[in-house]
Structure 1
Amino acid sequence: MKRILLACSSGMSTSLLVTKMQEHARAIGDEAEIWAVGQDMAKKEMTKADVVLIGPQMVFLKDELKKEAEKYGIQVEVIDMAAYGMADGKKVYEQALGLIGDR
């Protein structure tokens, strides 16, 4: 099972994206746990994740979160801005899979 954490300022703006990603994962037969949290919970929640995607508005936290994620051997990346704006669950799910690799 793939475990994908999305983090944004409050955790609210990614809720639609989480739903779209879950729908896409089900449609292709993948088992995935996808959830969103606010920036204040990102470090704690990343311990349960295979990858962390952050909202474009949180780009300023990327280096800090990457440093923490190194402890767990996971990657942190900013969600593609166009995909984020359009709540393109397929594109963001594929971005996450590319970062997870063979994990």
Structure 2
Amino acid sequence: MKVIYHIDEMDRWPLVLGNVKNMTAYYHEQKESYTIEVLANSAAVNGYAAASPEHEDAMKALAGEGVVFTACSNALKGNAMTKDDIFDFITVVPAGVVELAARQAEGYAYIRP
């Protein structure tokens, strides 16, 4: 299973991380492989800010399970942030909307909790 989660609102982080945790637990229990990406754009890139690590532990644990966390470069710029302002395990993509479209073209399921 290939899945991309899309988050663009800060208050959705607990829901997104809970959904991803449940999904990874399910696939581990079923002994099934998965590819999961969490793409943040708009205001949600602030959830990756090293200056406010509210969800860092949960994200690091999921990254340890193979979940890929990505941030939209345009959203970082729009929120006056750079790669240096976010956790080091976050991958920056050039444009969130292009990333979403590319992943869907590759067969990823799109989830926006």
Structures share fold, TM-score greater than 0.5: no
- Report the TM-score, using the length of structure 2 for normalisation: 0.39
Which protein shows a greater Rg? 2
